[in-house]
Chain A
Amino acid sequence: MSVLKKLTIRNLKLNRKRTITTIIGIMLSTALICATFGLGTSFQKSLLQDAIKSSGDYHATFYHIPKEEQKYITENRQIDSYFITQDLGYAEIEKELPDSYNRYWLIKQYDEKALTNNGVQLVEGRLPENENEILIQDRAADYSNQEYQIGDMMHLKIGERYSSTGEKLGVTNPLETTEDDEQVLEKFVPTGEEKEYKIVGIMKRPSSELEPYYAPFLVCITYLPEDKIVGNADISVKYKDVTKTYEITEEISKQNGEENSYEYITNGDVLRWSGVSKSANIATTLYVVVGIVVGIIIFSSVFVIRNSFRIMITEKYRQYGMLASIGATSKQIKRNVLQEAFYLGAIAIPLGILGSLLAVFILVLLVQNLIGEYANMEFTFYFPWMAILIGTILSIVTIYLSSIIPARKAAKISPIEAIRSNTEIKINRKKIQAPKWVKKLFKIGGLISYKNLKRSKKQYRTTVISIVVSIAIFLALTSIIQYAFGFTDIYYYENIGYNIVVRSEEEENEKILQQYNEISKIEGIEQYSIQKMAYITIGKEYDNKELAEYYGESQSDRTIPMIAIEDKYYDELVQKLGISKEEARTGAILADNVSYYKDNKYTTSNQFTIKEGETIKCYQENLEEREEETPIENKKQMEIKILKRLGEEQTIGIGRGTHCLIVTEEFLQNHMPNYRISNMYIQAENPDEFSKELDTMEKIGYTNYNESLKETRAIRTVIYIFVYGFIAVITLIGVTNIFNTITTNMLLRSKEFAMLKSVGMTAKEFNNMIRLESIFYGLKSLIIGLPIGLLLSYALYKGFGTSMEITYQIPWASIGIAVLFVFIIVFITMKYSLNKINKQNIIETIRNDNI
């Protein structure tokens, strides 16, 4: 080992703290890059697997291929593998299913490979092994109360669907009926063929490509032996090069000429997650977002690595000068610097990769546990080879670039200059001039702090930028969360006051009330409300012309419910609105907020031009006769005073977007004797348990909102983890930068500090000076960082603003956190270096540097 090499290693060992912070910086950067790409890979692969599982492992399907032409597809060189399916025909479902829309079976035949590769998701039993065995879907098994079960035999008369005009109907044709859906027009014509199948398994509903949502049939699948492939088969293919899917498919479909081209579909889900997309729109948005995130990460990473190296070389400036003075060539010095970079990279990059693998693994596990169930898919960890490669290359390039520049500089050092000056920076008198007030206000300590900040501009700029990046990202991301969550249902559902809505199927009010009373006795209810309501129509004179214009005359519905809630809730609501209980009983509260899309923007308005306090004319509706359109003159007319309009306030069962008049029960009974009892809103302690109780009751329907709440909460948690995880890592990188810069700067100045002390600066004065410096420093970062962050958050608001009507809110809380954070970090770092410096002996420090 050469002396220079030994020197490098000894240096790294001696400056242990510096070495460690540099390693941490490289580690974090590598880890962040790897983790970003790694997470992307894992999610993309998981989604691809999910797509393959549910829609099949193929890229395209060609339909109705005649026997003699099949080999031109199956033997095409671009094809990796293929499978064949064919439709045997329809058969009527003999047993009565609750959903009468489904009246046929569609019998599909799958060859060996299709059974395993065409998205068949077995729930129970096994795949068919011969042409007398069949798979049915779980809907058929559920619907019929298990009338179709594994082991049952099905006797099917095969046939075709024909329309009333005599055309053959296919998979994509919905059920042909009369206008009012009362009668079925299409005909089933048996071909005479009859089949006997044994049910051997139950599968999930196949993808919508096979069975559209409107399809009047249930797909069932049987085995297709090779010799039974007829002249009308569907061939699904997988290409060797998925990225060429669209071109090859087009090419194959037209191999017999334009007019004889094959019908085909491409497997959109699988292609999308394979990164192949025809419509670039969504993909582009996604790429832009990912690009920005990756850009920020790379930017910060490059920064921290670059900074670390610059600092390291600054510290050793003298040493390089010394080496040069005893005859080391520029080449040797350069090699020395690069060698150091190499050692650091060799330690830090593998550590960073390991860390990122661990982080990705944990994150995928977390996501799987949190939302796997709701998303109905499996998130799996995939070893991200590409991510590791990209991360490693990026880190190496960054390290190389960040060390080659200082290395060149180090190589150019003239020995005398290096030995004599103790800083890298040539001080320029003009640049460090301080205004008079600095000294007046902050004394000599302030003057020195101020001038030092000016002197180390470059170094501080790096750090200021990293703090600025952290602040800006923090502000922007917290704004995103605020906007994104403010306008999803999450907030809404959390505060809605109920988690179960019960509807009675009874007709008469007494019976309904009886049922509801019974329910109210079930244990575990935190609060409940039984709503009573009737319909009224508001006079035409109150129509909001602008809205009518927007929606079109016919759309503006002036008939709205008058809803009565219990006095308890009513009083709570009127208190929020600022009306007295007594006054509140003289009229109704109007809820008629509308938000609509106009001029590329959501705008809010009111459906009626009613003013608060106005007494309006309206007409009583008869619930039963509503359909018949009684002329308005014949309806009972009445006058109702509108007390207030509902804004953002909500009460149990009446949330945003509901259009109604809210009144007391007494008011409703007095004005609308024809009222009926509608829903019961329940806030249950344990909604899932409560639902089970409701299941046992007759003539009751209900919706449990807890599921959707749980789901949205889980999604939110995942988003939080990612967003705050991202902020945390970026901040960590920032902190590493800050720590690096400040400690170095302090150490470089230790001789100056010793001087100040030797001419009589007390410890207290010294600490004050440093504190002042951190304040200057933190302030500067904030002065730059906060406006940029706010600008970003405002830009995001503008971005969201086009689709939502919201007022911009300055994120004071986030600003507060950012300010606090910056000062805490700066102070802690300064404190750390101070402790180190204060421990040093004045004389030793001065002597050290004089050698």
Chain B
Amino acid sequence: MEILRVENLNKVYGKGENEVRAVDNVSFQVEKGEFVAIIGSSGSGKSTLLHLIGGVDRPTSGKVYIDGKDIYQLSNDNLAIFRRRQIGLIYQFYNLIPILNVEENITLPCDLDEQKVNAEKLQDLLKTLGLEKRKKHLPNELSGGQQQRVSIGRAIINSPAIMLADEPTGNLDSKASEEIISLLKLSNKKYNQTVIVITHDEKIALEADRIITIEDGKIIKDERNG
């Protein structure tokens, strides 16, 4: 089943001589349950593409379909609602809300949606993330790896259609990185969660079902792992 379809996506910054084609006419599809890694050199347009898929930016042209829905047809407010239900975003610098504790940060998308949080599910999630004993802690009381786990929790709590991670291990040591990767893998396997992850990390890339390589805003390689 196709969960994501990107059609002729373009993002252009600047005008005339300063024009930068950060994403240059990109098209591809992702099936449900796929684990996709996007690699490429710095400045090649990976983050821009991810943000366009995640609906936090707007493309210059082209379309993004998630679960069959053309997301850029939605109004700003509806797009926001779509984001909290269907998209889980993970950033390199965690970007947690510093005044909310672990539990509150994780349940943020549910709270925004005014849904009841399934206590069992939350408990299970906290256990999976290894944060049971830390659920009342504030982000600044946690290590980098723990913070990133919280942001994974936040991304997954609503069982979104698609989980997007932008260099989630870029700021972590190797041990913490491994934990994060195994968590991403786990959610992919356990919940059949679709995951797209940008990475510089060979290990992650090799764990993926599929590796897309980007250069100068274009897909130059799209290969499946053995």
Taking Cβ atoms with an 8 Å cutoff, the residues of A that contact B are 421-423, 426-427, 429, 432, 439, 443-444, 447-448, 451-452, 454-455, 751-752, 755-765, 841-843, 846-847, 849-850
Q: B residues within 8 A CB of A451?
A: 99-100
B218: Cβ under 8 A from any A Cβ: no
Interface residues of B in 27-83 (CB under 8 A from A): 47, 51, 54, 56-57, 76-77, 80-83
State the main secondary structure of chain A at its contact with B: helix
B136: Cβ under 8 A from any A Cβ: yes
| CB atoms of B57 and A751 under 8 A apart | no
What separation, in Å, do the CA atoms of A764 and B80 have in the docked complex? 10
| CB atoms of B98 and A759 under 8 A apart | no
- Our pick among B87, B108, B114, B138 for the contact of A429 (Cβ within 8 Å) is B138
| CB atoms of B100 and A448 under 8 A apart | yes
What separation, in Å, do the CA atoms of A848 and B97 have in the docked complex? 17
Given A426-B140, A429-B137, A429-B138, are A760 and B97 also a contact pair (CB < 8 Å)? no
What separation, in Å, do the CA atoms of A455 and B77 have in the docked complex? 29
B92: Cβ under 8 A from any A Cβ: yes
Given contacts A447-B100, A757-B56, 20 further A-B contacts (CB under 8 A): A421-B140, A422-B98, A423-B98, A426-B140, A429-B101, A429-B137, A432-B99, A444-B104, A451-B100, A455-B98, A756-B97, A759-B112, A760-B85, A762-B76, A763-B76, A764-B77, A765-B80, A842-B56, A847-B47, A849-B93
Q: B residues within 8 A CB of A846?
A: 91, 95
* 18 CB < 8 A contacts A-B: A421-B140, A427-B138, A429-B137, A447-B104, A455-B98, A755-B95, A755-B96, A757-B56, A758-B56, A758-B83, A758-B89, A759-B84, A760-B84, A760-B109, A762-B80, A842-B57, A846-B91, A850-B91
Q: A residues within 8 A CB of B111?
A: 439, 443-444, 447
Nearest B-chain residue to A752, judged by Cβ:
B97
B209: Cβ under 8 A from any A Cβ: no
What separation, in Å, do the CA atoms of A847 and B51 have in the docked complex? 11
What separation, in Å, do the CA atoms of A451 and B105 have in the docked complex? 13
| CB atoms of A455 and B99 under 8 A apart | yes
- Our pick among B51, B89, B138 for the contact of A759 (Cβ within 8 Å) is B89
Nearest B-chain residue to A850, judged by Cβ:
B93
B2: Cβ under 8 A from any A Cβ: no
B113: Cβ under 8 A from any A Cβ: yes
| CB atoms of A762 and B81 under 8 A apart | yes
B141: Cβ under 8 A from any A Cβ: yes
Q: B residues within 8 A CB of A756?
A: 97, 108, 112
| CB atoms of A751 and B112 under 8 A apart | no
Q: A residues within 8 A CB of B210?
A: none
Q: A residues within 8 A CB of B81?
A: 760, 762
B154: Cβ under 8 A from any A Cβ: yes
Given A427-B98, A448-B99, A452-B99, are A759 and B140 also a contact pair (CB < 8 Å)? no
- Our pick among A432, A444, A764 for the contact of B108 (Cβ within 8 Å) is A444
Q: A residues within 8 A CB of B154?
A: 759
| CB atoms of B91 and A762 under 8 A apart | no
Interface residues of B in 96-137 (CB under 8 A from A): 96-101, 104, 108-109, 111-114, 136-137
| CB atoms of A843 and B112 under 8 A apart | no
What separation, in Å, do the CA atoms of A263 and B113 have in the docked complex? 94
Nearest A-chain residue to B108, judged by Cβ:
A759
State the 8 A-B residue pairs at the shortest beta-carbon distance, nearest first: A760-B84, A444-B111, A760-B83, A451-B99, A762-B77, A762-B80, A755-B95, A758-B56
What separation, in Å, do the CA atoms of A764 and B56 have in the docked complex? 17
B11 to chain A, nearest CB (A): 11
| CB atoms of A761 and B98 under 8 A apart | no
Q: Which has the most chain A C-beta neighbours within 10 Å: B54, B99, B112?
A: B99
What separation, in Å, do the CA atoms of A762 and B113 have in the docked complex? 10
| CB atoms of B80 and A761 under 8 A apart | yes
| CB atoms of A761 and B140 under 8 A apart | no
| CB atoms of B92 and A850 under 8 A apart | yes
| CB atoms of A755 and B137 under 8 A apart | no
| CB atoms of B108 and A763 under 8 A apart | no
Q: B residues within 8 A CB of A765?
A: 80, 112
Nearest A-chain residue to B80, judged by Cβ:
A762
What separation, in Å, do the CA atoms of A764 and B83 have in the docked complex? 15
What separation, in Å, do the CA atoms of A765 and B78 have in the docked complex? 12
B72 to chain A, nearest CB (A): 15
| CB atoms of B112 and A444 under 8 A apart | yes
B88 to chain A, nearest CB (A): 9
| CB atoms of B112 and A761 under 8 A apart | yes
Q: A residues within 8 A CB of B113?
A: 760
What separation, in Å, do the CA atoms of A454 and B113 have in the docked complex? 25
| CB atoms of B97 and A448 under 8 A apart | yes
Q: B residues within 8 A CB of A443?
A: 111, 114
- Our pick among B57, B83, B87 for the contact of A843 (Cβ within 8 Å) is B57
